[in-house]
Chain A
Amino acid sequence: MSYLYYPGCSAKSTGKAYEESLLAVFSALQIPTIEIEDWNCCGATAYMSISELKAFALCARNFALAERQSKGTTMIDLIVPCAACYLGLKKALLYLREYPEIRTKVDESLHSAGLKYTGHIRIRHPLDILVNDVGLKKIASLVTHPLDGFRVACYYGCQVIRPYADFDDQHEPSTMDKIVESLGAEVIDWPIKTRCCGGSLTGTVQEYGLRLSYNLLKEAKKRGCNVIATSCSLCQFNLECYQRQMKRRFKDKVNVPVAFFTQLMGMAFGIPSRQLGLHRLLVPLQQPSKTKADVGGHHVYN
């Protein structure tokens, strides 16, 4: 397996904790995380809506750079943690393969930058890599601090799962659940784990965005969870950072910690919390007391 790491823009800003914990965990699992040199923004959902072709070109530049960087290897797996990047890059890969007209135009633009894309790229989400390449056994074997007392609601969001996910079921995904379970935590089953958090709506039409995210928090809390695990920086942002506004609007204290699943992994592996970016969480996450939370999950940690 030949890996290269594509962080995406949010990994360096609001989603910093995601990158920190991902790198720490992958390092413990001995998966190389070398960044693609001079990688550029993938355009995410915004640019894809403005000009598909240009967005494809942006994405393809990253592919070409990756190929150039690992010359001599056949297939290169790009580790793409951010859900929007995952979706955009995967879409670009697919369209470039299936539509020769698009491929020719993109090849031309790459050529003008002195680059070439030959189709030896695969886009992989960390969930995919952890479950399929590393394996749950290996992950469990590195657990030194099992997450006793943690009742985790795994939240996948939409972009990793739909429509291009090939490593998990689109209606009932289970990769994150399996990973969290192997850390010794209890996993809560809930039916809306792929329901949209509102995405950019929290910035544009806040009342709708808040509503969507609040629905998720409320349901997870109702089912007794004491932390929500996410795999997307925007999901984590939406669920965590607006809990005060939600309290005002919906008259509900909420107060649910929202962490990246990689942070939970790091905690279970015994990696110091500073390295996992745990200090960046607005709703702090701590090891719950040994007594289990009562049914209904109204026990809140501060």
Chain B
Amino acid sequence: MSTTEIRSNGTPKVGVYVCHCGINISSKVEISKTVEFAKTLPYVTIVRDYKFMCSDPGQELIQQDIGEGKVNRVVVASCSPLMHEPTFRNVMAKGGENPFFFQMANIREHVSWVTRNKEEGTKKAKSLIAAAVCRVALHQPLERKRVSIHPDVLIVGSGIAGIHAALTLADSGKKVYLVEREPTIGGHMAKFDKTFPTLDCAACILTPKMSAVLAHPNIILWTYSEVIGVDGFVGNFKVKVKRKPRYVNEELCVGCSECIEACVYKKARVEDEFNVGLSKRKPIYIPFPQATPLVAVIDEASCLELKRRKCKKSCVDVCEPNAIDFDQTEEIKEIDVGAIILATGFKTFDARRIFRYGYGKYNNIYTSLEVERMVNAAGPTSGEVILKSGQAPKMVAIIHCVGSRDNNTNRYCSRVCCMYSLKIAHLIKERTGAEIYNFYIDMRTPGKGYEEFYDKLLKEDVHFIRGRVAEITDWAMTPEEEGKLIIRAEDTLVGAVRRIPVDMVVLSVGLEPQADTEEVRRLFNISCSDDGWFLERHPKLAPVSTFTDGVFLAGACQGPKDIPDSVAQAGAAAAEAMALIDRGYVELDPNTAYVQEDFCSGCKTCVNICPFNAISFDGDKNVAVVNGALCKGCGTCVAACPSGSLQQNLFTDEQILNEIKGVVSYV
């Protein structure tokens, strides 16, 4: 043990509490042996073991021992500190002791769950307990700094999740910045015709919410904008937002569309993104009739005036409110917020990646999103389901799981495709009376009213073939097959390979993370899981928070899900953000760096090393100074300090060196 004088609460009296965690730990660690061993460690006054240390009686044990003066420092040998460190620190506080006189030994995730036999497990557990005891004896009392929280919230993305979160927060009195990349809010839901299982009209249920967003006094809506920089920490984020120029003044435009009529391009030539490429638009456009805000936008890449400054600008001539402004430039806005909610949604799987389905090669093969636009009365075909030739199809195939549940593309199930495939089957049948074949692997209809929806489809005479489609070609073997698309699939329930000639194919594409997910996650300093979706803090118990305090997730950006789940998550994220803000303060972790001025030589090595600019130099005293509020506690400066005058609270050199000694030399 170090001979440095032990400070603060007198001679260390370390209590060691070994948890059985049911049989999770006790099956691979001999508890009695570890207890006996712990008794031999220096400064240890009490050793106890209990079935579940984190339970109330378990916590009581510690509290009582502290209260009776038997221990003033505690080691709990149980699960991972990432699991219960806060729990036990609270127990210390309740018992009347500083919560940082505490250390955990991870003998579950790092020992009992990963070790073959009990002998090896016990030995490893002992070494980790020894390490914790040696370390905790040198702990110092620390105070958590309280920092105030800015009450405003930033929500990135305004599909149904972003919209719902924004309305919830705004209704509670919070000021919300709602930033959306597209010129209108609404996300994917605005493109749908009907939603399952109720067959509610998507626009009818969405547009009231969209109007509410626009009208709400607490929501600042910035469409056609992107977040480009995020600084700060929970409760105190500084965000830079780039507002792209629409070249149309949002305040003045009334959405009359005269400018679009008048545009010098008489024929629309640009691919309409809203209609997923099924129709064309002009360089000046409004994405769809209920776009919010209902303001025109001019596309830089295709507008003649913006590209070459050579247009006669008939749009300007017809604009009564004089809203068109070709001199607009991009604006960078800087805002302060306390919490951020990411609701950036998903993109659909690119069906061209599966060659054998012929998407892009043959006519009349559509993705589900394209069909959504087709059946939409406000869509490119005014709600009619028609082939390229203009006729209605007589036979339609709907193929489930395109891109999902596939080792070659995405392994996961996209969750919504079975339901929307049923919906599309229903809508197409309704409009055209065609024969419909759904090719599926499994029918996944778990939600409320979903299985009943499936029953309904079964009664509507839709054919269901359980088999993954092998290929779609135009190879006709008989005269009846001429001019049709031939589906080849194994009908596994019948036990035969079938050839089914159809007029039209709908590929039910899966959901994927947005293309710029990597950049976005770095911007907000969060992680992604293996399949690319934003990573939640805990898959079961913390699905809307991330490992970065103050940043929350809502909707499909966290994983594929349907509208009810997106709305629920949005509400949850709003509630957690609200809880954070209403508490009024944030307690910063105290593991910040500090300078022992007597030993600082003023070499300034640390000043430039800090990525958060938390270290400055005091020219008068010739020493470095750490700003505890900016310091995030990484310790990089501490390792760099040549004199050792920089130390990190809770991770001093002394403490770590003793931990090392404990972990190696006792067992």
Chains A and B form a bound pair: yes
CB distance from A220 to the nearest CB of B (A): 11
With A and B bound together, what is the CA distance between A171 and B474 in angstroms?
15
The reply to whether A191 and B355 contact each other, CB–CB distance below 8 Å, is no
With A and B bound together, what is the CA distance between A215 and B477 in angstroms?
8
With A and B bound together, what is the CA distance between A251 and B351 in angstroms?
40
The reply to whether B474 and A191 contact each other, CB–CB distance below 8 Å, is yes
Chain A residue with the shortest CB-CB distance to B473: A191
With A and B bound together, what is the CA distance between A172 and B354 in angstroms?
11
CB neighbours (8 Å) of B471 from chain A are: 171, 191
The reply to whether A169 and B475 contact each other, CB–CB distance below 8 Å, is no
Q: Which of A124-178 contact B (CB under 8 A)?
A: 169, 171-172
The reply to whether A192 and B477 contact each other, CB–CB distance below 8 Å, is no
Chain A 185-202 near chain B by CB (<8 Å), digits 1 or 0: 000001110000000000
Q: Which of A95-130 contact B (CB under 8 A)?
A: none
Task: Determine whether B144 belongs to the interface, using a CB cutoff of 8 Å to chain A.
Answer: no
Q: Provide the main secondary structure of the chain A interface.
A: loop
Chain B residue with the shortest CB-CB distance to A192: B475
The reply to whether B355 and A219 contact each other, CB–CB distance below 8 Å, is no
CB distance from B344 to the nearest CB of A (A): 34
Chain B 312-344 near chain A by CB (<8 Å), digits 1 or 0: 000000000000000000000000000000000
The reply to whether A171 and B356 contact each other, CB–CB distance below 8 Å, is yes
CB neighbours (8 Å) of B474 from chain A are: 191
The reply to whether B355 and A192 contact each other, CB–CB distance below 8 Å, is no
CB distance from A169 to the nearest CB of B (A): 7
CB neighbours (8 Å) of A171 from chain B are: 355-356, 471
With A and B bound together, what is the CA distance between A192 and B471 in angstroms?
11
The reply to whether A190 and B355 contact each other, CB–CB distance below 8 Å, is no
In this complex, which of B356, B358, B471, B475 has the most chain A Cβ atoms within 10 angstroms of its Cβ? Answer: B475
Chain B residue with the shortest CB-CB distance to A216: B475
Chain B 466-499 near chain A by CB (<8 Å), digits 1 or 0: 0000010111010000000000000000000000
Chain B residue with the shortest CB-CB distance to A222: B476
Chain B 558-572 near chain A by CB (<8 Å), digits 1 or 0: 000000000000000
CB distance from B479 to the nearest CB of A (A): 12
In this complex, which of A169, A171, A191, A215 has the most chain B Cβ atoms within 10 angstroms of its Cβ? Answer: A191
CB distance from B354 to the nearest CB of A (A): 9
The reply to whether A172 and B355 contact each other, CB–CB distance below 8 Å, is yes
Please tell me the number of chain B residues within 8 Å of chain A, measured between CB atoms. 8
With A and B bound together, what is the CA distance between A203 and B38 in angstroms?
82
CB distance from A137 to the nearest CB of B (A): 26
With A and B bound together, what is the CA distance between A169 and B356 in angstroms?
11
CB neighbours (8 Å) of B475 from chain A are: 190-192, 219
Chain A residue with the shortest CB-CB distance to B362: A191
CB distance from A192 to the nearest CB of B (A): 5
Cβ contact of B473, chosen from A169, A192, A215, cutoff 8 A: A192
Chain B residue with the shortest CB-CB distance to A215: B477
Chain B 532-559 near chain A by CB (<8 Å), digits 1 or 0: 0000000000000000000000000000
Q: Which of B429-487 contact A (CB under 8 A)?
A: 471, 473-475, 477
CB neighbours (8 Å) of A169 from chain B are: 355
Chain B residue with the shortest CB-CB distance to A189: B361
With A and B bound together, what is the CA distance between A169 and B358 in angstroms?
15
Q: Which of A193-250 contact B (CB under 8 A)?
A: 215, 219
CB distance from B209 to the nearest CB of A (A): 44
CB neighbours (8 Å) of B355 from chain A are: 169, 171-172
With A and B bound together, what is the CA distance between A215 and B475 in angstroms?
10
With A and B bound together, what is the CA distance between A191 and B356 in angstroms?
9
CB neighbours (8 Å) of A172 from chain B are: 355-356
With A and B bound together, what is the CA distance between A104 and B471 in angstroms?
41
With A and B bound together, what is the CA distance between A71 and B99 in angstroms?
75
CB distance from A256 to the nearest CB of B (A): 16
CB distance from A162 to the nearest CB of B (A): 13
CB distance from B499 to the nearest CB of A (A): 12
CB neighbours (8 Å) of B358 from chain A are: 191
Chain A residue with the shortest CB-CB distance to B477: A215
With A and B bound together, what is the CA distance between A171 and B475 in angstroms?
15
Chain B residue with the shortest CB-CB distance to A191: B473
CB neighbours (8 Å) of A219 from chain B are: 475
With A and B bound together, what is the CA distance between A146 and B473 in angstroms?
31
Chain B 385-408 near chain A by CB (<8 Å), digits 1 or 0: 000000000000000000000000
CB distance from B599 to the nearest CB of A (A): 62
CB distance from A221 to the nearest CB of B (A): 13
With A and B bound together, what is the CA distance between A190 and B356 in angstroms?
12
Chain A residue with the shortest CB-CB distance to B470: A171
Chain B 355-367 near chain A by CB (<8 Å), digits 1 or 0: 1101000000000
Chain B residue with the shortest CB-CB distance to A190: B475
With A and B bound together, what is the CA distance between A202 and B353 in angstroms?
36
CB distance from B361 to the nearest CB of A (A): 9
With A and B bound together, what is the CA distance between A190 and B476 in angstroms?
11
CB neighbours (8 Å) of B477 from chain A are: 215
With A and B bound together, what is the CA distance between A282 and B474 in angstroms?
30
Chain A residue with the shortest CB-CB distance to B356: A171
Chain A residue with the shortest CB-CB distance to B482: A222
With A and B bound together, what is the CA distance between A219 and B475 in angstroms?
7
CB neighbours (8 Å) of B473 from chain A are: 191-192
CB neighbours (8 Å) of B356 from chain A are: 171-172
With A and B bound together, what is the CA distance between A190 and B358 in angstroms?
12
7 closest Cβ contacts across the A-B interface? A191-B473, A172-B355, A171-B356, A191-B475, A192-B475, A171-B355, A219-B475
Residues of B participating in the A interface, judged by any CB pair closer than 8 Å:
355-356, 358, 471, 473-475, 477
Residues of A participating in the B interface, judged by any CB pair closer than 8 Å:
169, 171-172, 190-192, 215, 219
A-B contact pairs, 10 of them (CB 8 A): A169-B355, A171-B355, A171-B356, A172-B355, A191-B471, A191-B474, A191-B475, A192-B473, A215-B477, A219-B475
Given contacts A171-B356, A191-B473, A192-B473, 5 further A-B contacts (CB under 8 A): A171-B355, A172-B355, A172-B356, A191-B475, A215-B477
